[in-house]
Amino acid sequence: MLNVNNADVFYGKHQVLYDINIELEAGIYGLIGENGAGKTTLIGLITGLLRPKNGSVTWNGKDINKLGNSYYDNIGYLPQFPTLYSDFYSKDFLEYMALIKGMKKKEYKERVDMLLEFVGLSDEKHKKIGAFSGGMRQRLGIAQALLNEPKLLILDEPTAGLDPSERIRFRNILTDLSKDKIVLLATHIIPDIENVAKNIIFLHRGKILAIDTSDNLINNINGKVKEAVISEDEYHRINRQRISNAIYEDGSYKVRGFLDNITDAIIVEPGLEDVFLYYML
């Protein structure tokens, strides 16, 4: 179990995370927030790259700073836009990562081949990473994160820049992984976690707005999300920040969102994107 207890994080004098309290157990957690919300900073806190000015981060009740390097036996981390080492072959890269994770040769030899198979890169093991597409790099990044069979897997924007087929492939891999570990998936692309993450953490400007299951969060805004067809004039008049989607058709706009001021709007079933918008308002 991972706990973040009353943590404040500063960059110099500028506070970036405010009184963060999180408890993570086995399962997939979606960490959602707009760009600049503090997702990567929160991940830095959890991975020990950053230290809180106040508060603490504990793993199974022990402060991670006191655990030292042994904490990293439990972590697999894939940061945003991993460039990896372009001049390495994929298999060499995984073997290198296995060594710096403290694995012995007899431990990692089979595991490297298995993981390349798992992420669909076993035919590319003798190709240099520099020749990989973005999706292939992401998959290799996931493979390196899984080398040491971590109990805590942290993926920061893992689908950014991927095409739809790569994103589907990634979601399928994620589902296989989540059985007995904590998976923290940070993203601002809601569809990527909508059907995968049971628990959602909403982060906005360094503060946690909500932590709950996606079902509960959606149920909380039941009856508040509406759709309506409005004229172009009306569209330019309304508060766009309350609109989650708008489609232009034949001179009018079909809008969806929190349309309290539109009388003939009809109530629709909310989704996670609507929840995100709700907390941004």
Partner 1 sequence: MIRYELKKIVNNKFIVVFLVLFFCLDIFVMISKNIGQINYISSKQYDNYRRLYNDIRGDITSEKVKTLQEAKLNMEVYGLYPEVAINTINNNRDYEKRAKDVVDMALDNAYTYNLINQQNRYINSICIANIFRDRHIDCYYETDGIDEYLKYDYSTIIVIIIIIMSINILWINDRKTEMYRIVNTTYYGKNRLNVIKVISVLIITVISEIFFRILELITFYIIYRFDGISQPLYSVKEYADTLYNGSIISAMLIDLLLKILGCIMVSLIVAICVLLVRNTILAYGLAFILSIVLRYPVKSFDNYRMFRSRNVYIIKDYLFTDISIMILIGIIPLVSMLMLLVILRCYKSVI
Please give the residue ranges that form the binding site for partner 1 (CB under 8 A).
44, 47-51, 69-70, 72-73, 75, 77-85, 87-88, 92, 95-97, 99-102, 141, 144, 148
Based on CB atoms, which residue is closest to partner 1, 33 or 82?
Answer: 82
CB nearer to partner 1: give 65 or 219.
Answer: 65
What are the structure tokens assigned to 14, written together?
């500028």
Q: Hey, which residues does 248 pair with through a beta bridge?
A: 253
- Residue with smaller CB distance to partner 1, 157 or 273: 157
| Least Å from the CB of residue 76 to partner 1 | 9
Nearer to partner 1, 53 or 198 (CB): 53
What ranges make up the beta strands (E) of the chain?
Answer: 2-11, 14-24, 27-32, 54-59, 62-63, 75-78, 152-156, 182-187, 199-204, 207-213, 226-231, 243-249, 252-257, 266-267
Asked if 23 and 38 touch (Cβ cutoff 8 Å), the reply is no
Place of tokens 């597409």: 133
**Whole-angstrom Cα distance, residue 118 to residue 150?**
16
Distance CA 254, CA 215 (A): 26
- Using the minimum distance from each CB to partner 1, give the nearer residue, 108 or 278: 108
CB of 149 to partner 1, least distance (A): 13
Q: Tell me how far, at minimum, the Cβ of 82 lies from partner 1, in Å.
A: 7
Least distance in angstroms from the C-beta of 275 to partner 1: 29
CB of 102 to partner 1, least distance (A): 4
Distance CA 245, CA 4 (A): 35
Give the Cα separation of 122 and 125 in Å (integer). 6
- The residue among 77 and 132 lying less far from partner 1, judged by its C-beta, is 77
* Amino acid identity for residue 104 in this structure: K
The distance of closest approach from Cβ of residue 184 to partner 1 in the complex, given in angstroms and rounded to an integer, is 13
